[in-house]
Structure 1
Amino acid sequence: MSGGGPWRPALRRSVMLRHDPVRDADLLLLPERVVVLHGSAGSVVRLCDGERDVDAIVAELAALHPGAPVAEEVPAFLGRLRAEGWLT
């Protein structure tokens, strides 16, 4: 997080999000591996465009999925992706 403002997650340049129609799954394509995203993980990652901050991502998902625990789960999920080095 640079600049001291809210974190606006985005995929690193070396990471691509793709949908695999054969598996009907979203994938993160990394330089030397492929990560299969389960459940709604792909829809979360799609919102990581570098424009929205985490609060905006949570708000958008909460509106789409009322009653889902997005406020608790999404920041933790994004933190794990960041710790893996997949998000900036």
Structure 2
Amino acid sequence: MDPALATTRTEVSASDRPRLARHVRLTFSRARQRHVLLHPETVVVLNGSGAAILELCDGRRTVAEIEAELGARYREVPGEEVRRFLTRLVARRWMELTDG
């Protein structure tokens, strides 16, 4: 899939390979003692599950592989919630998708 078209698509599938957009960074804020997403002029404080998902979004793993990894770590991970979270980030253009 053409990377330019990938950013216009908002529905996340199990075969997509998500990664943060170039202008977004995941980091740990010592002041907040939480992971945050840094976007120009915006700081988003993440909960533990959001940070765990985003740490696995490297552009190499598929959404299915991310769900499996989270399932191995935490036993039960609702895949639809992972995809819904990623879909919201794609809609804001904070996440890019490519398919395998």
TM-score (normalizing by structure 1) = 0.88
Indicate the SS of the match to 1:26: strand
Of the candidates 76, 82, 85, which is equivalent to residue 74 of structure 1? Answer: 82
Of the candidates 17, 22, 27, which is equivalent to residue 13 of structure 1? Answer: 22
Shift of 1:38: 1.5
- Structure 2: 5+ residue stretches without partners: 3-14
Of the candidates 64, 70, 78, which is equivalent to residue 73 of structure 2? Answer: 64
Query: Counterparts of 1:68 and 1:7 in 2: how far apart (Å)?
Result: 18
- Structure 1: 5+ residue stretches without partners: none
Percentage identity across paired residues of the two chains? 45
Root mean square deviation, CA, Å: 1.6
More strand by share: 2
Of the candidates 24, 46, 55, which is equivalent to residue 46 of structure 1? Answer: 55
Give the paired residue count.
Answer: 85
1:51-83 per-position Cα deviation (integer Å, ceiling 9, x unaligned)? 0010000000011111343x1211111111111
